[in-house]
Structure formats: structure tokens, C-alpha cells
Amino acid sequence: MTATIQQQLFEIIAKQAKIDVATIRPESTLKDLGIASLEAIEMIFDIEEHFNINFPDQQGANFDTDTAQSLVDAVQKALDDKAAAGEGSK
């Protein structure tokens, strides 16, 4: 595996926020990173497309309090759920 989920996700966040990826910390909130709600929605679409996953609708981001790490966790959970669903359909 090339980059970790966190590295890939932080690169997507950095591109969307137009900031250096090195400035992103796991505890950084989307608001701290200067990502407005509309940008965050676009970023979620980018994340879903990049990882070929779909977040449940109720899993919308809270831009004031959600951290970069919470997005990493959400992506990991979606990937785990997708893998579990894939194994069950064989």
C-alpha cells in the first residue's frame, strides 16, 4: 500500500483548503483549516470518489467540531463496512 488513509485524506483536505498538507493535524477541525461548509461538501464528494465509498447521509460533517481524525475514522469505517459487505456477497 502506498499512502495511508490518513495521508491520502490529508492531501485531499489540503487541496480543498489550498493549504500545505504539513499544516494539517489530526486534531485540526475543518473550521480551523478554513474550510467552509460548501467546500466541505465538495471535499466529502472528493473523498467518496477517491476511496470509492459512500458515507451514510446522516454522517454529515459538523464543520465546527469535526476533526481531520474523525474524517479518517469515518473513511476507515466506510472501507471496513464495504469490505464486510463484499465478503458477504460472495
Residues 6+ apart with CB under 8 A from 5: 51, 72, 75, 76, 79
Give the model's confidence band at 1: pLDDT under 50 very low, under 70 low, under 90 confident, else very high.
very low
> Does some domain include residue 55?
yes
Domain count, the chain: 1
pLDDT score at 37: 82
Q: Give a yes or no: residue 68 inside a domain.
A: yes
Residue in 9, 73, 76, 19 with CA at minimum distance from that of residue 46: 9
Q: What is the pLDDT of residues 4-53, one digit of tens each?
A: 999 999 999 999 999 999 999 999 998 899 988 888 889 989 999 999 99
Q: Is 73 domain-assigned?
A: yes
Residue 90 lies in a domain: no
The yes-or-no verdict on residue 59 having pLDDT over 80 is no
Examine residue 71 and state whether it is found in any structural domain, yes or no.
yes
pTM here is 0.82
Q: What is the CATH number of the domain that holds 60?
A: 1.10.1200.10
Residue 54, domain extent: 5-85
